[in-house]
Structure 1
């Protein structure tokens, strides 16, 4: 019987293996890597969407990126910080508008 705790432990163990593979100085077999990612994806599907998953995703950027990629079709960049993206977009729009209204040849003040 699989419990949420077992699923969480399995995911933690698989993430540790993923980190070792990603930081390995020895080339990793692509099939081995794909098999590991597939197993992690299965464990993510079985893991409850709870505080322990959120904590794990916050602590392990590799897992968060994989989670986001797996859920992109339904949730977009669900793990990316929205506030920072919105601020960056607004700053870009402000810069574009300022450039449009500035006379040709003038230099912006810092």
Structure 2
């Protein structure tokens, strides 16, 4: 057990020294490769402006997304009304699993939003 711990410690030191030696080079390469995405001047004010632009652009895109969702729902309703007799059990099962997955993600988001508590009370 002690020898495995020493091996693990040695490996961790080796990885740590590799990261320290190569992180600066990697950082410079990453910035150079993605230079077209960097807004000049790179200041806090520029970041705030970009953040506001992103927020309001996404806010402005909500009506378009809402209309797309409405079209998709209408299409599904039409398919169900026209081809109800042709539906297979597998298709209904897949749709049910998709709905269940969406509900599970909603529940997980709610739990995360409450600080990883089930009831919402912090102990």
TM-score, L = length of structure 1: 0.27
Larger RCO (alpha carbons 8 Å, 6+ apart)? 1
Q: Higher Cα Rg: structure 1 or 2?
A: 2
Higher helix share: 2
Q: TM-score, normalised by structure 2?
A: 0.25
